[in-house]
Amino acid sequence: MAQSRGWLAVVDPTIADELVLYSQCAGAMCCLASHSGGSPMRHVKPLAQSLFLLLVSTAALAGSTTVAITPLGARTGEFCQVDRALLFEDPTGVRILYDAGRTIAGSSDRRLGNVHVVLLTHVHGDHLGDAKLNQDPDESSSSCGGDLRTSPTLPYSNVAEIAAGKNSAVLVSADVSTFLGAKIAGLRGMATPSCAAGNEVLVPRSQPCSSNIGFGSKRTITMQAGAPGVGITAVHAEHGNGLDPAFLVDPERTNLSSNGLLAPMGPPIGYILKFTNGLSVYLTGDTGQNSDMATIVRNYYQPNLVVFNIGDIFTTGPEEAAFAVTDLVGARAVIPEHANEVATRDGAVIPGSKTARFVELLPDLAVYLPLSGRTMQFDGEANCVAGCGAMKPRNQSQPR
């Protein structure tokens, strides 16, 4: 409980005669303990009700209808060089893992809990996970740079290991769906079914599944048939999607690598997630600016929160991403991601970094740092109501 500073109690209207504890983050290093067991909720005896009711606050009350977003990076409390992974939890309990990459220790990573859905924008090794974390993210000596300590996952991948271990529904582009289905089958020794014949995917599941999600299509992830769920769709991304032959077995592995070829896997994608509290999140994936950001993403899906990759060289840099956020997507709030740098020190943006530049370019927008292990709680309007201690609030031009 050392990290669970500032516990507050609130009455969850969905659970009679019980109280539910939520963690109210008091700093960058909090909240991990409350989520490490797979649920943000802990039930307490009615005898304690009077005590906890004294602690009810407006912010905590908002937690009962907020979406929890927890970055899972290389070092707790920081935004590190190879960080990509985000874990989302809808108020209905649906938990979605985005681009696991290399900073999760496979399905046994204690930070994961339940993972109902696995999303992957494309098959590059830093997203698919050509290695998995082999360092304790809570240790201050853990690497935050490019010298991450990892274990091998090839030829399977970290994403396949997690989905296989967590009985997750994998929702990805068509070619990636069949590929990951085969990888999961190889790990489990049995075929991987598709997730559902229709749009609705029920979770939790007793075995993993893999299905495609096409541009302009949609899936709804729900805990109960017909009940409100999280809407997921794929949107265009301007990037490559070649698969490193190291993920393959022979003869294709040798044949492709000896010719300097990658395996074609169709177009990369981004995602739109529509949560049950009204929060709508655009996950760009690796991409350049593209006109779909204005026509399809803004005009049709109207996200109010964007997770934008800002690494430059391979994707939009901070200047291009800032333009896209304000002039193409038009979101209310943004989380920078995939910066390909050690972006923070002690949870604060390092001056002169790409992340600092991105923050400076968005003086009128709320920019929330993806500090690993720190759970941010968002309401339906993309306001972070808890856990964003290191954010740059709107109308403040200097990053912390």
Site residues (vs Zn ion, CB under 5 A): 124, 126, 286
Residue 189 C-beta: closest distance to Zn ion, Å: 31
Residue 311 C-beta: closest distance to Zn ion, Å: 7
Cβ-proximal residue to Zn ion, closest one = 124
Cα separation, 227 vs 225, in Å, equals 6
What is the DSSP-derived secondary structure letter of residue 247? G
Q: Name the helix (H) or strand (E) containing 177.
A: helix 174-188
Residue 27 C-beta: closest distance to Zn ion, Å: 29
Cα separation, 233 vs 101, in Å, equals 21
Residue 173 C-beta: closest distance to Zn ion, Å: 13
* Strand 200-202 relative to strand 131-133, pairing: unpaired
Which of 83/89 has CB closer to Zn ion?
83
What is the DSSP-derived secondary structure letter of residue 267? -
Across-strand partners of 306?
282, 334
- Give Cα separations from 227 to 230, 232, 330 (angstroms): 10, 15, 30
Which of 124/274 has CB closer to Zn ion?
124
Which of 120/322 has CB closer to Zn ion?
120
User: Which tokens is 83 given?
Assistant: 């960080």
Cα separation, 32 vs 237, in Å, equals 32
Residue 28 C-beta: closest distance to Zn ion, Å: 25
> Closest by alpha carbon to 339, among 354, 326, 328?
354
Which of 82/213 has CB closer to Zn ion?
82
Which of 123/333 has CB closer to Zn ion?
123
What sign for the dihedral angle of Cα 376, 377, 380, 385?
negative
3-state secondary structure of 264: strand
3-state secondary structure of 333: strand
User: Which tokens is 52 given?
Assistant: 């906890």
Residue 60 C-beta: closest distance to Zn ion, Å: 36
Residue 80 C-beta: closest distance to Zn ion, Å: 14
Which of 25/120 has CB closer to Zn ion?
120
Which of 157/277 has CB closer to Zn ion?
157
